[in-house]
Amino acid sequence: MITILNDDFSQLNTFLHEKSFSKIFILVDENTHEYCLPVLLGNMETDLGFEILEIEAGEEMKNIQTANQLWEILTEMQADRKALVINLGGGVITDMGGFISSTYKRGVQFINIPTTLLSMCDASIGGKTGIDLMNYKNMVGTFAFPEQIFIYPKFLETLPFKELRSGFAEMLKHGLIADKAHWESLIQIHKLDAEAIVTHIQTSMDIKQDVVEKDFHERNIRKTLNFGHTIGHSVESLCLSQGNPILHGEAVAMGMICEAHLAYLEDLISQQDAETIVENLQRYYPYLDISDFSDESITALLLNDKKNTDSKINFSLLSGIGSCTYDHQCSQENILKSLEFYRK
């Protein structure tokens, strides 16, 4: 269940009073410690004891070493099966916190309080948790639902612009795959800031929630959420492996440009729709230089994508603005053409 918090966090306090937890562990990174934790602690009313678990900020931390440290700390602090973990942060914190919670002692309860746009509209919803392995994103993880998701949009006020824009990519994706009106209202936004975006968050959350409810285990319609992510994830992984990480939403925006063009090459959408999508994405997102990445290195990563079956690359491709297909296998030629299209 998703709840938008009032300024006094009363719904969170009611939740904490109604459940009988033994202790609270609040997972933060250095930035959410500074910007968000004081707000949470200033409003949280509970008799329960709590501990703060802090990790460094960044995707580089979303790995087994960090998970191991957190499991050890929980053990040292004698967290029992009735402990509650509160994940206060962006997608790295909600992915990591969900993962360690769902595995520690075979699972303790957790709630998500997402603090980035990306985690509000996407990462905190849907019950996917996980960590990266080698240079592959989200290779190890669990399906596990938070007890609750609490959204406090004012957390966005301290979020850096690039992070806001990164989350905006997932919102645009929601419009493109499921709701043309949402896409059209988002592209009316000329100056991307928290104020302009806030009124559109609910629609994006609803789209994600709705898709997940229909297909939790990603057997069919949930795959549409992967639009832009097949090529996007590969480029994100390559950048990470070269020590130049880019933001998830930046990679997804790039992936959506390639995959919109790919949908056109595969005769799924009109040239006009493809051009509209590409032009609008280019308005918000700067060009990503992928000239150093060979077709072979990108294709190798595409072949390792979790969505693949029978060694075939499965794409989720638009079938119009506001609708999306999945398990679409493209010709190798068109995949390479779509990368070439982006490079140009």
Q: Rule CB under 6 A: which residues touch ligand NAD?
A: 29, 31-32, 35-36, 57-59, 62, 89-93, 95, 115-116, 118-119, 122-123, 126, 128, 137-138, 155, 158-159, 163, 166, 248
Specify the pairing of strand 109-114 against strand 128-133.
unpaired
Letter for the amino acid at 129?
A: T
Report yes or no: 56 and 85 within 8 Å, Cβ to Cβ. no
Active site residue 191: no
How far from the centroid of its chain's Cα atoms is residue 61's Cα? 16
Residue 95, both tokens: 């992915």
Least Å distance between CB 17 and ligand NAD? 26
Which of the following is catalytic: 87, 226, 314, 334? 226
Active site residue 229: yes
User: 110 vs 155, which CB is nearer to ligand NAD?
Assistant: 155
Which of the following is catalytic: 165, 208, 223, 261? 208
Active site residue 18: no
User: 169 vs 277, which CB is nearer to ligand NAD?
Assistant: 169
Active site residue 208: yes
Least Å distance between CB 247 and ligand NAD? 6
Residue 71: how many CA atoms within 13 Å on its side-chain side? 14
Tokens 């004081």 -> residue: 38
User: 35 vs 71, which CB is nearer to ligand NAD?
Assistant: 35
Which of the following is catalytic: 137, 165, 233, 261? 233
- The CB-nearest residue to ligand NAD is 91
Residue 265, both tokens: 């090459």
Q: Which residues pair with 109 in a beta bridge?
A: 84
User: 122 vs 305, which CB is nearer to ligand NAD?
Assistant: 122
Residue 234, both tokens: 């590969």
CA distances from 271 to 184, 229, 261, 267, 307 (A): 18, 21, 8, 9, 27
List the catalytic residues: 106, 128, 170, 208, 218, 222, 226, 229, 233, 248
